[in-house]
């Protein structure tokens, strides 16, 4: 029997992707964008952890990695190539393109992570999620007790902060790209903490008690008020290794994520919000296309963060509905390939 889809998760992903798009509008306001960055990416990793199911053998792990690669990396490569071609066409219109430029661009795309920006700016999340889920799957396979798994996750959190607190200052915070690690693999050591929280606290997250939800909202308001009053100097950016507060990097993202998830569980009960959850179901498509869509429209129109957000949501949904969905031959390239495990038949002997 197929398990009923949890509506509040789609609401959470809907709000999360709206915050992602709005957070990329350069005129959104320094404080509002700062608050968004405090928790919006940890939220998505927590949701992934909430949905995570451990593998029980190395054969299952092998299939899990294959399935994950086809689901995440196929659309990653598709969008990466398409947007790169678009970028090259624009450069060709402005003047000659030199081989060195193409090589440098190609190397940056292969390294990925924080090394690619612009219309590729959000692609770091996909490779980081891919690595994070594999790391957590290996952890769950190697260690069967949740306490041991939790200790591994906490150790990864400490390793992540060793890099940002001890290593990054040695080379200068403005030159983090000198840390030559592809696909933001180092960020996975922090991301696995949030993914692990979503997994270990699944029972709690599935139905957040009222007093915890209200307390989380209250604490979130206090954090934002302290920042507004210049009493709290806190910033978070997973992509750019901006997490150098050992305690607040856990407390603030988790508190604000719980507050949002609690509100989503309340909103999911309202019928009027249910049609809007399509944004949550198509969050990856929106994530891939929203910067590209605005890069195209901004060449013809000047607009602020509101229209940036509208274009970043509506255009990807329209492209998915009327182009991608209607082309079955190319559809898997944009949404990922489904991989089915081969059944093993045992030969019965007399």
Domain ranges of the chain: 7-335
Q: What is the pLDDT of residue 350?
A: 41
Neighbour-count burial of 45, counting CB atoms closer than 10 A to its CB (0-12 exposed, 13-18 middle, 19+ buried)? buried
**Per-residue pLDDT at 24 exceeds 80:** yes
**Per-residue pLDDT at 60 exceeds 90:** yes
222-259: pLDDT as tens digits? 999 999 999 999 999 999 999 999 999 999 999 999 99
- Our CA angle for 281, 287, 293, nearest 5°, is 120
CB contact at 8 A, 46 and 194 = yes
Q: What is the pLDDT of residue 12?
A: 95
For residue 219, the surrounding DSSP H or E stretch is: helix 210-228
241's CB contacts (< 8 A; 6+ apart) are 114, 163, 164, 168, 176, 179, 186, 187
pLDDT confidence of 175, banded at 50, 70, 90? low
Q: What is the pLDDT of residue 345?
A: 44
Q: What is the pLDDT of residue 149?
A: 97
CA end-to-end span of the chain? 35
Top-confidence residue, 149 or 88? 149
194-204: pLDDT as tens digits? 999 999 999 99
77's CB contacts (< 8 A; 6+ apart) are none
pLDDT confidence of 1, banded at 50, 70, 90? very low
Q: What is the pLDDT of residue 249?
A: 98
**What 3-state class would DSSP assign to 307?**
helix
pLDDT confidence of 90, banded at 50, 70, 90? confident
Average pLDDT (88-108) is 83
280-332: pLDDT as tens digits? 899 999 999 999 999 999 999 899 999 999 999 999 999 999 999 999 999 99
Top-confidence residue, 81 or 102? 81
Average pLDDT (11-27) is 91
Q: What is the pLDDT of residue 307?
A: 94
pLDDT confidence of 177, banded at 50, 70, 90? low
* Whole-Å CA distances, 200 to 51, 149, 162: 11, 9, 24
Q: Which range among 11-20, 96-105, 149-158 shows the weakest confidence by mean pLDDT?
A: 96-105
Strand positions, DSSP E, the chain: none
Q: What is the pLDDT of residue 271?
A: 73
For CA atoms 242, 244, 245, 248, the dihedral sign is positive
**Per-residue pLDDT at 173 exceeds 90:** no
pLDDT confidence of 344, banded at 50, 70, 90? low
Average pLDDT of the chain, as a whole number? 90
Q: What is the pLDDT of residue 174?
A: 56
Q: Which of 47, 37, 12 has the alpha carbon at shortest distance from 243? A: 37
**Per-residue pLDDT at 28 exceeds 80:** no
């Amino acid at each position: 029997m197929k398990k009923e889809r949890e509506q509040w998760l789609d609401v959470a992903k809907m709000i999360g992707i709206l915050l992602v798009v709005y957070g990329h509008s350069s005129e959104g306001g320094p404080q509002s964008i700062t608050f968004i960055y405090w928790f919006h990416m940890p939220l998505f990793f927590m949701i992934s952890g909430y949905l995570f199911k451990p593998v029980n053998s190395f054969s299952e792990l092998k299939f899990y990695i294959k399935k994950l690669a086809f689901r995440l990396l196929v659309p990653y490569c598709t969008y990466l190539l398409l947007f790169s071609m678009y970028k090259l066409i624009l450069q060709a219109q402005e003047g000659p393109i030199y081989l060195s430029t193409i090589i440098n661009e190609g190397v940056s795309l292969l390294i990925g992570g924080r090394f690619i920006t612009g219309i590729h700016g959000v692609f770091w999340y996909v490779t980081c999620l891919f690595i994070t889920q594999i790391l957590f799957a290996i952890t769950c396979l190697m260690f069967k007790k949740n306490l041991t798994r939790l200790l591994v996750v906490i150790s990864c959190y400490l390793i992540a902060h060793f890099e940002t607190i001890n290593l990054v200052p040695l080379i200068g915070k403005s030159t983090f790209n000198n840390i030559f690690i592809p696909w933001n693999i180092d960020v996975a050591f922090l991301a696995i903490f949030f993914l692990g929280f979503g997994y270990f606290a699944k029972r709690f997250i599935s139905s957040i008690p009222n007093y915890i939800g209200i307390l989380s909202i209250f604490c979130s308001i206090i954090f934002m008020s302290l920042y507004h009053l210049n009493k709290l100097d806190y910033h978070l950016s997973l992509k750019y290794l901006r997490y150098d507060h050992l305690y607040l990097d856990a407390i603030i993202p988790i508190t604000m994520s719980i507050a949002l998830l609690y509100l989503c569980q309340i909103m999911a009960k309202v019928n009027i919000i249910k049609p809007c959850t399509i944004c949550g179901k198509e969050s990856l498509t929106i994530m891939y296309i929203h910067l590209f869509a605005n890069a195209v429209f901004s060449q013809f129109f000047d607009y602020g963060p509101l229209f940036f957000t509208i274009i970043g949501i509506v255009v990807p949904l329209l492209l998915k509905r009327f182009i991608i969905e209607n082309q079955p031959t190319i559809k898997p390239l944009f949404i990922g390939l489904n991989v089915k495990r081969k059944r093993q038949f045992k030969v019965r002997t007399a």
